[in-house]
Every structure is written in C-alpha cells, then in structure tokens.
C-alpha cells in the first residue's frame, strides 16, 4: 500500500485529538458523573493539560532516537494499553487514585505522541504539501472532539440509562472502546505512516538537547516586544478557559442548582454535533476572512468574535430555558464565533511570535502559553463557580474578556504589516 498523506494525516491527527480530549475534557464529565463536585472535576481534568503545556521541554529528546514513526507507534500502543488499564482499574475498590495516576502518565504519553506525529507531518511533507493538507489536518483533528465530547459522552449516558444504570460500568465500556480504537490506529499507522526525517539541528545527546532548548529560550525572549506577545498568547482565550469546563457542568446540573438539567446523551448531541459543526464552519469562514482582509486590520474584531458571544451562557443561566432548540442555539452561536475568531490567534503566533531561528519551538512556546492559560483557568473555575453560583460566575466570565481586549489592542506587528 502506498503512503499518500491522505492515508495517515487524517488518522494521525484524529488519534492525537481523541487522546487529548478524552484526558483534558471528557474526564471532567466522568468525574462529575462519579460524584465529584465542580471544583474537583474541573481541577483534576485541567491538571492533565500540564504535560501538553510543557511538551517543548522534552520535544528535543524525540529527535535523538530511532524515527518519529517509531515514537508515534510506541506512544499509541501505550495509550491503547493505558486506556484499557483505566477500564480494568475501575473494577477495583477505591479506584480513583489509580485512575488519576494512569491519567497523568497517559497525558505525558499523549503529549509525546503529539510531538512525534507533528514531526512526521513536518518532515515528510514539503512546504507546498504542508499547505495543501493543512485543512485536512485541522478538520481531522476536530473530528476527535466530535467523537470524544459528542459520541463518547452520549454513549456513557445511553449505557447508564439503558444498560447498566451504573456510571462506573458505563465509563468502563467507553474507555475500553477508546483503547480498541487507538490500537486499531496503531496497526494502521504501522502500515501506512512514513518514518519522518530528523531535523537538521537534531541533538546527538542530552547535553546537545539541553543546549538547543536553552538557546531557544534565550532567543525567544530577545524578540522585540516579546512580553506583549507572551501576554497575547496567554490572555487571548482567558474567558474561554473559564468557560470550557463549567459550560458542560452548567448543562448537566439540575435546574434547582442553577443548571439546565440535561442528560449526558443530550449534552453529547449538543456539544459533539451542533457545537463542533459550528466550530468547523466558523474556523473555515474565519480563515477565508483573514486571508481576504489580512490579520492586522481584523485581529481585534476576531478577539470580539471569541469573547462577546460568551454572553449566551450568561443569558441561559439567567433564564434557564427548557427548550432544546434555544439551548442548542446558544451553544452553536458561542462555538461558531469561537471558531471564527480563534483562527486569528493561531495565525498571529505563526506570523509574529514564531518566526526566527527556532520557529517550530517558538510556536510550541506560544501554544504552550495558551495551554497554561487553559490549565490555570480550569483549576480555579470550579472553585469560583461554587462560590459565585452560575449567574454571577458567567458575569465574571464576561468581565474576564477585558484583559483579552486590552492585550489584543496592544499586540505588536513587527514582521510584515499583517495585511493581505
């Protein structure tokens, strides 16, 4: 069988996203189903983002040994075994501690898989093909959240309602299915994925790796107006970080507690179909908009698109609609404009923050700062929501858009005009 990128790019990025979303997002719903309060559920799930945030620190090691394909296969094999172990561990008495340890280990394995799979993509395709398959890469990654946040959350609720009436058993089946899917992806990638090439500056030893990483840090902070760019990378999605975990909790909490009282099945349908379809469409249209108008004239407008539609959750918390049409519409509006505006964030990192001697590493620093924001806001969001209640918490989310507006207004453009 040939090695057309169409054979491995979609499955590679789907597998990356499936592991990441299962660990960083779906686990929060599982923890809540198993009886945790919002602070615990959001805190535990958000802490699993740490490995993905600091992955630039261990990325050079992947360059040192064997091939990038080898790391993809070995990490996917461990992920499959790990998710299978999660399913088995849930049969043990007092399994929560074992579960958390497994999830932490899997987060570092998943982050390593990210590094290796990105490396295969970058080194196996020339710049023309990278651009050609960029849309497929992005679309394939976004299928992961559809399957995880939509399909598997729906399945957990369906199993609980119609089969087991036990959340532990329902989630055991879900994690076993995730393990089977990733194992199948491992076998497929063993057959069709290219090896990938070593980077020209690949380290020959741990000492070299440390030297490269140190030089990358030094040159990063030598960039002009770097602290404004760091602020932009961290603060652009501040309100989204506060909304990410609490939004789904709000959907499933009982009406008496200020929520909307939805089941896991309905949450899965709304977030995993309407919400993700809206993100995909918004991202597509946002990319076209920036391509036609340029980034610099549109960046503040894109920031508004990301932040202002969060008001839909404030309105839903005030009026607590029972209509599924209105609830779905609220989520769809927020997700569409998030997809539309977040394109500007990624392009800014690529065009203004990343370029230089270590473009790939500096881009990873930027996305790592965004991940750090998601982790920090996730860790505090549950505690804040419990203190404030849903209505006041969503008012707080709207207030948290102000730093995003300020830093976007101040974001520097030194490399080109940002115009089309």
Same domain flag for 150 and 23: yes
Residues 163, 59: one domain? yes
Please check whether residues 235 and 139 belong to one and the same domain.
no
Same domain, 132 and 273: no
What tokens does 73 get?
Answer: 């296969």
Q: Please report the pLDDT score of residue 131 as a whole number.
A: 59
pLDDT, residue 89, reads 96
Same domain, 130 and 270: no
Taking the CA atoms of 140, 141, 142 and 146 in sequence, report the sign of the dihedral they define. Answer: positive
pLDDT for 346 equals 78
pLDDT means per 10 residues, the chain with 420 residues, are: 79 94 94 94 93 83 78 96 97 92 96 86 73 70 84 95 94 97 97 79 72 85 93 94 93 95 94 85 85 89 95 97 95 91 83 78 82 93 96 97 96 68
Residue 334 sits in a domain whose CATH number is: 1.20.1250.20
Task: Tell whether 331 is covered by a domain.
Answer: yes
Q: Evaluate whether residue 42 is within a structural domain.
A: yes
Query: Is 91 a member of any domain?
Result: yes
Least Cα distance to 258 among 394, 107, 59, 77 occurs for 394
Whether residues 253 and 164 share a domain: the answer is no
Distance CA 51, CA 402 (A): 29
User: Which of 205, 235, 256 is the last residue in one of the domains?
Assistant: 205
Q: Which of 395, 385, 398, 50 is nearest to 239 (CA)?
A: 398
State how far the Cα of 287 lies from the Cα of 298, in Å rounded to an integer.
Answer: 11
Range of the domain at 53: 1-205
Residue 199, judged by CB atoms within 10 A of its CB (0-12, 13-18, 19+), counts as middle
Total domains in the chain come to 2
For residue 143, tell me if it sits in a domain: yes
In a domain, 211, yes or no: no
One DSSP character per residue, 313-376 reads: HHHHHHH----HHHHHHHHHHHHHHHHHHHHHHHHHIIIIIS-STTHHHHHHHHHHHHHHHHHH
pLDDT of amino acid 1 = 41
Domain shared by 193 and 227, yes or no: no
Question: How many CA atoms does the CB half-sphere of 106 hold within 13 Å?
Answer: 31
Q: Which H/E stretch holds residue 99?
A: helix 96-124
Residues 229 and 356 reside in one and the same domain: yes
- What 361-365 contacts at long range (C-beta under 8 Å, 24+ apart), as own/partner pairs, is 361/56, 361/59, 361/213, 361/216, 361/220, 362/216, 362/219, 362/220, 364/55, 364/56, 364/59, 365/56, 365/216, 365/220, 365/233
Domain final residue pick, 205, 240, 271? 205
The answer to whether residue 366 is domain-embedded is yes
Same domain for 414 and 273? yes
Q: Are 200 and 316 in the same domain? A: no
- Give a yes or no: residue 409 inside a domain: yes
In a domain, 216, yes or no: no
- In a shared domain, residues 188 and 225: no
């Amino acid at each position: 069988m040939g090695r057309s990128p169409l054979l491995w790019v979609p499955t590679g990025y789907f597998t990356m996203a499936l592991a990441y979303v299962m660990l960083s997002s779906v686990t929060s719903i599982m923890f809540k189903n198993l009886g945790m309060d919002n602070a615990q559920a959001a805190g535990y799930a958000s802490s699993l983002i740490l490995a993905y945030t600091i992955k630039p620190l261990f990325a050079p090691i992947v360059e040192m040994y064997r091939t990038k394909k080898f790391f993809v296969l070995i990490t996917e094999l461990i992920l499959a075994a790990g998710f299978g172990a999660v399913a088995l561990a849930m049969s043990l008495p007092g399994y929560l501690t074992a579960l958390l340890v497994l999830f932490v280990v899997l987060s570092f394995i998943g982050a390593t898989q990210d590094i290796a799979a990105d490396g295969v993509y970058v080194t196996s395709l020339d710049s023309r093909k990278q651009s050609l398959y960029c849309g497929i890469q992005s679309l394939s990654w976004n299928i992961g959240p559809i399957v995880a946040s939509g399909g598997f959350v729906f399945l957990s609720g369906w199993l609980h309602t119609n089969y087991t009436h036990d959340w532990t058993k329902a989630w055991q089946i879900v994690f076993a299915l995730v393990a089977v899917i990733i194992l199948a992806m491992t076998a497929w990638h063993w057959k069709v994925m290219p090896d990938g090439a070593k980077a020209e500056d690949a380290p020959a030893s741990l000492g070299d790796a440390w030297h490269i990483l140190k030089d990358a840090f030094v040159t990063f902070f030598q960039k002009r107006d770097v602290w404004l760019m760091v602020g932009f990378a961290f603060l652009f999605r501040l309100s989204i970080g506060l909304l990410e975990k609490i939004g789904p909790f709000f959907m499933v909490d009982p009406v008496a507690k200020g929520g909307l009282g939805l089941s896991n099945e309905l949450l899965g349908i709304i977030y995993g179909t309407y919400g993700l379809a809206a993100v995909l469409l918004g991202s597509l249209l946002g990319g076209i908009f920036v391509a036609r108008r340029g980034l610099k004239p549109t960046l503040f407008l894109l920031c508004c698109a990301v932040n202002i539609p969060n008001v839909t959750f404030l309105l839903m918390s005030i009026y607590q609609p029972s209509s599924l049409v209105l609830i779905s519409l609220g989520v769809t509006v927020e997700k569409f404009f998030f997809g539309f505006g977040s394109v500007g964030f990624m392009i800014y990192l690529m065009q203004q923050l990343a370029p230089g001697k270590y473009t790939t590493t500096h881009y990873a620093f930027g996305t790592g700062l965004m991940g750090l924001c998601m982790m920090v806001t996730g860790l505090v969001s549950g505690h804040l929501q419990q203190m404030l209640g849903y209505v006041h918490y969503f008012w707080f989310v709207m207030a948290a858009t102000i730093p995003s507006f300020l830093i976007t207004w101040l974001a520097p453009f030194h490399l080109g005009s940002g115009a089309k």
